[in-house]
Structure 1
Amino acid sequence: MIAINNLTFEIGARALYDEANWHIKPGEKIGLIGANGTGKTTLLKIIVGQYSPTSGTISMAKDIKIGYLNQDLLSYQSDKSILHVAMEAFERQNQLHTEIENILKKLETDYSDDLLHKLSDKQHEFEALDGYSIEYRAHEILAGLGFSEEEQTRQLSTFSGGWRMRVMLARILLQAPDILLLDEPTNHLDLPSIKWLETYLQAFEGAIVIVSHDRYFLDRVVKKIVESRKGKLTPYAGNYSFYLEEKALREEIQSGQYKNQQARIRQEERLIERFRAKASKAKMAQSRIKALDKMERVDDVDDDNPSVNFSFKFSKQSGRHVVRIEHLSKSYPGLSILNNAEGVIEKGDKIALIGANGKGKSTLLRIIAGADKDFTGMSETGHNVTQTFFAQHQLEALHLENEIIRELQAFAPKHTETELRSILGCFLFTGDDVFKKIKVLSGGEKSRVALAKALTSDANFLVLDEPTNHLDIQSVNILIQSLQQFDGTFIVVSHDRFFLDNIANKIWYIENQEIKEYPGTYAEYEEWQSKRPAQAGKPATPPKKEEKPAEKPKPAPSADKSGELKRLNQTLLKLEERIGTLKTALADTETQLSKQEIYLDSKKLAAANDQYKKTKAELETVQGDWESLAEQILELEQ
């Protein structure tokens, strides 16, 4: 379908791609991943012809129809209704519709056979192109993306950037392209729209290439991952979760090969050093030196997942109640957001505020942060609460002429430069990167600086509005680790389900203009929500936290304790023998995987990988059984 061969693309002295290869086949659903700056968006632009490669070729069929969604489409402006803009996808049908209307006008005065034949031909082609259903199809897709019937008649220019992007997505989907290239399609979608898009793309018959940092979205839509890294494109035959497992396995094997080779090199170097000075052994030493020079070196595994290695501290603890909301009402002209709402944020709460766009999430967040005071009722901050509010517009508050390190020093003067460098290192600013000026940073880099500032503040309460926007998967992982280590309280709005599932212990959502609370994780909330339609007519109230059941009394020990111990010890010995056998088998498989004839044969490599996984899984199971049995023996021996 599309063949990328030996692609090299250079920006100045830097090669984003260096003889990279990739073949996209019909119907494939592919996730294109990689850290920010590795050229994912650039590659999509090369495919559609916006950029030309330095060398190499991109081949595709002449009649291939490509639908390309990119962030540049936000600049598209029109005073026409969004329904009309979406229907621009049907270029030939719209042209035929206009021609048919003109012919019908002429027929009011001209009844010639020629004109009637023309009308018949145009109508036949219009019907063959399913022209009579295009408005219905446009309505259907716009509704799926969250637009009401009334909104579909509004002008595109009256919508914000995120909603305009949805209209562009609808127009692309209506073109029914052979391949969809989607650059961060979920960036401006709320959770209901993301789920709708997942369902749509799962049923889409053409090929799809998606650049996204949303791990759950990739898991549900794609069947293949291609990683852009170090100028190459590496395929993995599965979704994102499979990619993580497979990459870990490959890196484990590579690490073993690297260590083994390094040990061999050290041994050879010691032999060379010992014998090179002896005339009788000089020839042998020279031969070994040449062999070392010719040896194809195995690279050590790079750590692409840095961990957060510092603790976030604040000078004072908050009281039990961080925020109390009572009888809160908030409305805009013609729109009521909250009506007599109640809610309490307690010390230690990690709250995810979720829901569809337009329900008032960001409004509620601004009220909690004290940035919006135009409401009735009460939103009161508790004793000793110090807060930091992060929102996307705060990126504009960064001082563009400041270096990154100076920006943090001005904001958090109590921290030493070493501490600030450590924090910035966790947010992927290392070495001389900390001296870059804010004005040269990308949107994602500015987000990371603003987040680093928020987390270095002396705040025990964080209010975070869409903190994962513009962050790649690696940066989202760092933010997750940061919030997991944060000892204070926070409330966060995000549409990234993996992020929410890993940081929240409570879910807030706005329903019927009230604040509703689910006391659990996002995954538990999703499961609970999926069961709600089945309870028609019953009030859906979130479950209360289950009390820990009383421990069951332990059964009385066996009367024949010595006989039981003997039997368990015999089983333990058998397990130990099995563990030894499995460890040997695992080492043998690793040796096989390091052989070139296996590594270069995809079928043999797949079979060896499967064997490695099975052996390793069995080893882990047997080791677990051994540990359980050892605990039983210890209990009986007491």
Structure 2
Amino acid sequence: MSISPEDIAEEIRTTLPGTEEIIVQYLSGYLLDLDDAAEDEDVLQVTRTILDSAIGSSSRKAKSPQLDQEGKQDCTIAFSEGVDLESINKGKASRVDVKKLEKQEAKLKAKIEKRSKRNLYEGSKLLDQQRKQQSYEEMFLKINPLDAAAASKNKSKDIHLPSIDVNFGSNRILSGASLTLAHGRRYGLIGRNGVGKSTLLRHIAMREVPIPSHITILFVEQEIIGDETTALDSVLKADVWRDTLLREEASLNKQLAELDSEGDDKRFEDAQRRHKRDSQMYIRVLPRWKPKADLQEPQHCLLGSDSAKKTSRDRRNHSVPSLLLLDEPSNHIDLNALAWLEDYLQTWPGTLLVVSHDRAFLDAVATDIIHQHSGRLDYYKGNFTQFYSTKSERDRNLRKEYETQMEYRKHLQAFIDRWRYNANRAAQAQSKIKILEKLPELHPPEVEETETFKFPEAEKISPPLLQLNEVSFGYTPDKILLRNVNIDVGLDSRMAVVGPNGAGKSTLIKLLTGELKPLAGHVSQNGRLRIGYFAQHHVDSLIPDMTPVQFLASKFPGKTEQEYRGHLGNFQISGMTGLQQIGTLSGGQKSRVAFAVLSLQRPHVLLLDEPTNHLDIEGLDALMAALNTWNGGVIIISHDERFITSVAKELWVCADGTVSKFRGDVQAYKSLIVSNIKARP
């Protein structure tokens, strides 16, 4: 039996006739919600018990002469402060069903526990959904059927969706936004961390927004999962159509062999016809592609971040889609690979939509910029520099127009206030009132939010702080990665380490932290020194089922929740975001949590391995400003040219087994890399 609010409302009207309707509606909703963890048949019984108690109290009060005289007093007095619940319960004690009471208490406890586990962003549900997501091949076949390429002939590959809504759990990402992608254009999608850029890409990739079915889509996410698959097999399997048909062909050949051995001529002929029919599909779909031999050796689980990312790009190259979606493609790759990627994407034949916070990368690749903010998408022609100039000019004009309009309104209002009741000027005042009423509603222009990061001041300690003296290291004695490294780190150090992936940059940082021990040489460290280490894959150190507040409390117990939330606010994790599960945060928000953890260590030296990978442009500006005003030592590994130029005073190159100071700036180093790439045969 299902109990509705109307059933309870009718019970209240019957028991307490004359009760105001607004009270009836409120009580029915309240009582139903109060007992929604219980069985439906118990709800009316609980309601009747409460109403009977109220009537008992009301009847006793009705004996008063004053009430007899009034006669029509509102029955809602039964629920006022005058109800003596203690005497009611005492009088009805003999009728209490103890077992039923225990049952209700157990259900109420279950209800409270259920509510406590519920959070605004439905984090657990979203994480479970992510864990159960389809494999790459299943997803590709679902959104790109085999006949998609043939169906796209003579059809426009432009995308124009005038009004789309995108949600993430209970969060509204876009509302009535226009999505327009012209075929052959390269779009850079930018916006603040947590605004929903990756969510939008996933919705497009899964066709959760109505992308035309004849447009093939390939989505390259921020991270790829390492496994035992060789790089060659990974690239070949990227052509899912080809891989699926090859497996079907192998299955049919196996069936033919089994039927031939059984001597069943009829079934054998049927299988042969089916094989012949499908063979026409194989000929049409299977590409003639000859892979390089070196892709046959390394496995995904053995590749560095850069190599794994390159394999992911090769997968994309081997399966050319109409629409290519890239989520932070410049993360985890060195300057060499970044230069190649920029050059490659400039000649991409289809439509490109890329999420990136790297200004130099967007300047090199993008023909258009899409700015995602306030639940909408704004479009700008040109690369990031042109976007920034155009948007700044537009914002200035909007502010100027707003201020002009406000001054005009103030002028009208002042005239009205002065002459409204003057007989000679009353007509003019009325005219001004009509003008003022006809003016359109004025909204102030959006104020660009500024971010600030704050690191605690480092205590002064006497040098030397941290030194490497003739240090050599290799993961095996016969393969030395770094030789005779000498570095001296002080509170005034501002070093940037650059070089190709796999050369040993992250290994150098781990030697400085003491996580790795050298095979030769000596690492000296001040006994009072505290080092803050931001790892390249810092996400692995965060617990996805915890909230940022809970994670900080687990690492640094002893503070109140408000203190933890205030500290997170120093890194722009504010409001409900601090109570949202870490697993549902964006990459940039997770980076902010990691920085908040670092600052609680009160370090003297910060070792930052690719700290810019997930930060948005505003977050990157805030990080640069915080590091430039901080009084501790900083060593960074980064591929971001602007970040290195702003923060570092020294440039060190890690390559060919050595770490040495580079005589020049990052632009000179990048020019040297590009010239070397072009000089190769």
Does the alignment reach a TM-score above 0.5? yes
Percent of aligned positions with the same letter in both sequences?
A: 27
Query: Match for 2:473 among 330, 339, 345?
Result: 330
Q: Is the 8 A contact 2:568 2:578 kept in 1?
A: no
- Residue 46 of structure 1 pairs with residue 189 of structure 2: no
Partners of 2:312 and 2:233 in 1: CA distance: 12
Alignment gaps of 5+ in structure 1: 53-57, 107-116, 140-148, 537-638
Q: Is the 8 A contact 1:325 1:344 kept in 2?
A: yes
Partner of 2:549: 403
| Greater displacement, 265-274 / 217-226 | 265-274
Q: Is the 8 A contact 1:27 1:208 kept in 2?
A: yes
Q: Is the 8 A contact 1:424 1:434 kept in 2?
A: no
- Residue 82 of structure 1 pairs with residue 237 of structure 2: no
How far apart are residue 158 of structure 1 and its match?
5.0
Partners of 2:675 and 2:355 in 1: CA distance: 32
Relative to structure 1, is the Cα distance of residues 178 and 388 closer, same or farther in structure 2, using a 3 angstrom cutoff? same
| Greater displacement, 239-248 / 487-496 | 487-496
| Greater displacement, 296-305 / 501-510 | 296-305
Partner of 1:270: 414
Q: Secondary structure at the match of 1:74?
A: coil
Q: Secondary structure at the match of 2:496?
A: strand
Q: Which amino acid aligns with 2:290?
A: E
- Residue 2 of structure 1 pairs with residue 169 of structure 2: no
Over alpha carbons, which structure has the higher Rg?
Answer: 2
Partner of 1:23: 180
How far apart are residue 28 of structure 1 and its match?
0.1
Relative to structure 1, is the Cα distance of residues 364 and 262 closer, same or farther in structure 2, using a 3 angstrom cutoff? same
Q: Secondary structure at the match of 2:507?
A: helix
How far apart are residue 379 of structure 1 and its match?
2.0
Q: Which amino acid aligns with 2:507?
A: T
Q: Secondary structure at the match of 1:268?
A: helix
Partners of 1:409 and 1:124 in 2: CA distance: 62
Partner of 2:35: none
Q: Is the 8 A contact 1:70 1:183 kept in 2?
A: yes
How far apart are residue 309 of structure 1 and its match?
8.4
CA deviation map 1:52-94 (0-9, x unaligned): 5xxxxx453x4222221124x735x764422122112345556
Partner of 2:190: 33
Query: Match for 1:174 among 290, 315, 318?
Result: 318
How far apart are residue 327 of structure 1 and its match?
2.0
- Residue 261 of structure 1 pairs with residue 405 of structure 2: yes
Partners of 1:394 and 1:427 in 2: CA distance: 16
Relative to structure 1, is the Cα distance of residues 520 and 303 closer, same or farther in structure 2, using a 3 angstrom cutoff? farther
Partners of 1:450 and 1:276 in 2: CA distance: 61
CA deviation map 1:190-229 (0-9, x unaligned): 3322222212111211111101112211111111101011
CA deviation map 1:92-145 (0-9, x unaligned): 556787899999x99xxxxxxxxxx9999999998887844x123xx3xxxxxx
Q: Secondary structure at the match of 1:502?
A: helix
1:343-492 aligned at under 5 Å gives the runs 343-381=487-525, 385-391=529-535, 400=546, 403=549, 410=556, 421=566, 424-425=568-569, 427-430=571-574, 432=575, 436=579, 439=582, 442=585, 443-455=587-599, 457-492=601-636
Partners of 1:456 and 1:27 in 2: CA distance: 48
Partners of 2:467 and 2:513 in 1: CA distance: 12
Alignment gaps of 5+ in structure 2: 1-157, 258-272
Relative to structure 1, is the Cα distance of residues 440 and 470 closer, same or farther in structure 2, using a 3 angstrom cutoff? same
Q: Secondary structure at the match of 2:166?
A: strand
How far apart are residue 188 of structure 1 and its match?
3.4
Q: Is the 8 A contact 1:323 1:380 kept in 2?
A: yes
Relative to structure 1, is the Cα distance of residues 387 and 94 closer, same or farther in structure 2, using a 3 angstrom cutoff? closer
Q: Is the 8 A contact 1:404 1:449 kept in 2?
A: no
Relative to structure 1, is the Cα distance of residues 293 and 433 closer, same or farther in structure 2, using a 3 angstrom cutoff? farther
Partners of 1:11 and 1:273 in 2: CA distance: 50
Relative to structure 1, is the Cα distance of residues 119 and 459 closer, same or farther in structure 2, using a 3 angstrom cutoff? closer
Q: Is the 8 A contact 2:453 2:623 kept in 1?
A: no
Q: Is the 8 A contact 2:324 2:353 kept in 1?
A: yes
Relative to structure 1, is the Cα distance of residues 5 and 401 closer, same or farther in structure 2, using a 3 angstrom cutoff? closer
Partners of 2:355 and 2:327 in 1: CA distance: 5
- Residue 241 of structure 1 pairs with residue 391 of structure 2: no
| Greater displacement, 447-456 / 395-404 | 395-404
Relative to structure 1, is the Cα distance of residues 408 and 278 closer, same or farther in structure 2, using a 3 angstrom cutoff? farther
CA deviation map 1:539-596 (0-9, x unaligned): xxxxxxxxxxxxxxxxxxxxxxxxxxxxxxxxxxxxxxxxxxxxxxxxxxxxxxxxxx
| Greater displacement, 404-413 / 194-203 | 404-413
Partners of 2:240 and 2:578 in 1: CA distance: 51
Partners of 1:208 and 1:279 in 2: CA distance: 68
Q: Secondary structure at the match of 1:516?
A: strand
Relative to structure 1, is the Cα distance of residues 284 and 467 closer, same or farther in structure 2, using a 3 angstrom cutoff? same
TM-score normalised by the chain length of structure 1: 0.68
Q: Is the 8 A contact 2:216 2:323 kept in 1?
A: yes
How far apart are residue 291 of structure 1 and its match?
3.7
Relative to structure 1, is the Cα distance of residues 234 and 311 closer, same or farther in structure 2, using a 3 angstrom cutoff? same
Q: Is the 8 A contact 2:336 2:674 kept in 1?
A: no
Partners of 1:405 and 1:87 in 2: CA distance: 41
How far apart are residue 492 of structure 1 and its match?
1.0
Partner of 1:562: none
Q: Is the 8 A contact 1:316 1:384 kept in 2?
A: no
Partners of 2:287 and 2:555 in 1: CA distance: 62
